């Protein structure tokens, strides 16, 4: 079992201890091995948490303590280990190796890998090739943005991603499993030398979308990916299945944020890091009042276009929630030829008149229309079930 980081809520020592015990129990009862990578949520000297009385400040975990908690989940039987980065290589089977790399380290989080660490990665990949091994990798942060629009968010993907892509793919590692963004996606890129790298990002076990993957390495060139809903678990889900409960939680989060434009604009601006000025304090609630009662048709009309008849009377807020959820769920349904897709594409073409290109968080130029089109509609690899050809 591979777990791609954020093993605790906020670095509470009690949480790390409890999760470690849970993983030990799983290994003993199932006979299966567990491999983890730690991440930024797993160490924090001054964490916060909540109990029945409200917010509390539990004992935190230092980075140096993580190995003690998770030693038995990849580190203890590693065939190569980088202590500074808490990264390692594990032998999964006779001919498959796992490279686990971590970029939330002591005193630094979401770092750009330096040349020394990239050299260590390259050396492990080259050694695997020399030994006739298929090597796959795992990291917490996505190496490729889960959806195109997420490229605009610096924290949503690996810093200076291309360096890592080239180091992995050009040294024979063509598949990496990631987490962090809680989204379900499978993406692929190609280096200048023509080598592929697939990034398989998987949702959270306790958030929407709640899925796990079954991965079968069929041969050195073929990997089969299957996805399954997380089974129901013991929690007060208000009479809903766990899948429906987590979906409702996600939708409530987005709905609350949109409604806060109208009802609590200060909160809205803090969440989106919008500077509070006399202008924004007037404009945000005014926009909020209009959006909260607007239909999709009315929103399209404002941009001098029209919505498809099937959705024109739908609430704009509920339509926006569907779009936001689909970005994280993957296999986004708003493609060309669907009512939602055709409406959105007309809107995006209107926007393109004013803005044709934008830059992502790493300075790469993006075509705005194509970015938005492929964010709301999946025209590529199935995000749940796919057979990946690595070479």
Confidence bin at 49 (pLDDT 50/70/90): confident
Same domain, 209 and 90: yes
Same domain, 246 and 183: no
Residue 266 structural domain: 242-376
Same domain, 213 and 302: no
Query: What pLDDT was estimated at residue 56?
Result: 87
Same domain, 165 and 295: no
Same domain, 49 and 135: yes
Tokens of 281: 């304090």
Residue range 50-56: mean pLDDT, rounded: 86
Residue range 90-114: mean pLDDT, rounded: 94
Q: What is the pLDDT of residues 260-297, one digit of tens each?
A: 999 999 999 999 989 999 999 999 999 999 999 999 99
DSSP code of residue 232: P
- Residue with token string 């970005």: 327
Residue count (the chain): 391
- The count of domains in the chain is 2
Confidence bin at 50 (pLDDT 50/70/90): confident
Same domain, 226 and 262: no
Same domain, 221 and 320: no
39, pLDDT greater than 90: yes
Tokens of 319: 């339509």
3-state secondary structure of 343: helix
- Residue with token string 């979308």: 209
Same domain, 67 and 198: yes
Same domain, 265 and 183: no
Query: What pLDDT was estimated at residue 54?
Result: 87
Same domain, 40 and 157: yes
Q: What is the pLDDT of residues 12-36, one digit of tens each?
A: 999 999 999 999 999 999 999 999 9
Between vectors from CA 221 to CA 215 and to CA 225, what angle results, nearest 5°? Answer: 20
In terms of Cβ atoms closer than 10 Å to its own Cβ (0-12, 13-18, 19+), residue 314 is middle
Mean residue pLDDT across the chain: 95
Integer Cα distance of 232 and 241 in angstroms:
7
Same domain, 213 and 282: no
Residue range 227-234: mean pLDDT, rounded: 92
142: domain CATH number? Answer: 3.60.21.10
Residue range 205-230: mean pLDDT, rounded: 94
Confidence bin at 368 (pLDDT 50/70/90): very high
Integer Cα distance of 26 and 31 in angstroms:
8
Query: What pLDDT was estimated at residue 51?
Result: 84
370, pLDDT greater than 90: yes
Same domain, 119 and 152: yes
CA distances 130 to 40, 126, 137, 173, 220, Å, are 34, 6, 17, 13, 14
């Amino acid at each position: 079992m591979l777990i791609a980081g954020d093993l605790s809520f906020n670095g509470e020592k009690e949480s790390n201890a409890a999760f470690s015990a849970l993983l030990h129990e799983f290994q003993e009862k199932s006979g299966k091995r567990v491999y983890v990578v730690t991440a930024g949520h797993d160490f924090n000297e001054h964490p916060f948490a909540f109990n029945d009385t409200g917010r509390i400040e539990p004992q935190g975990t230092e980075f140096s303590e993580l190995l003690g908690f998770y030693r038995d989940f990849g580190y203890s039987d590693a065939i190569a280990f980088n202590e500074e980065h808490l990264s390692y290589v594990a032998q999964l089977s006779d001919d498959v190796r796992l490279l686990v790399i971590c970029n939330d380290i002591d005193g630094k989080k979401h770092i750009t890998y330096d040349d020394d660490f990239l050299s260590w990665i390259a050396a492990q990949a080259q050694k695997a090739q020399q030994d006739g091994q298929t090597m796959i990798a795992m990291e917490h942060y996505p190496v490729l943005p889960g959806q195109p629009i997420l490229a605009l968010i610096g924290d949503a993907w690996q810093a200076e991603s291309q360096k890592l892509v080239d180091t992995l793919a050009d040294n024979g590692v063509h598949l990496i499993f990631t987490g962090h963004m809680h989204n379900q996606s499978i993406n692929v890129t190609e280096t200048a030398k023509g080598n592929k790298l697939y990034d398989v990002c998987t949702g959270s076990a306790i958030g929407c979308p709640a899925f796990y993957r079954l991965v079968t390495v069929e041969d050195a060139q073929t990997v089969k990916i299957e996805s399954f809903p997380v089974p129901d678990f013991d929690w007060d889900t208000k009479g809903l299945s766990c899948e429906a409960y987590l979906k409702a939680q996600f939708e409530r989060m987005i709905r609350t944020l949109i409604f806060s434009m109208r009802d609590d604009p200060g909160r809205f601006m803090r969440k989106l890091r919008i500077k509070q000025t006399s202008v924004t304090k007037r404009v945000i609630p005014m926009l909020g009042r209009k959006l909260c009662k607007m239909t999709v048709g009315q929103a399209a009309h404002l941009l001098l276009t029209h919505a498809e008849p099937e959705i024109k009377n739908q609430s704009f807020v509920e339509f926006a929630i569907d779009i936001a959820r689909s970005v994280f769920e993957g296999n986004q349904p708003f493609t060309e030829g669907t009512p939602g897709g055709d409406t959105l594409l007309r809107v995006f073409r209107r926007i393109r008149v004013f803005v044709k290109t934008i830059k992502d968080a790493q300075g790469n130029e993006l075509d705005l229309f194509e970015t938005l089109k492929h964010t709301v509609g999946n025209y590529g690899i199935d995000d749940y079930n796919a057979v990946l050809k690595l070479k």
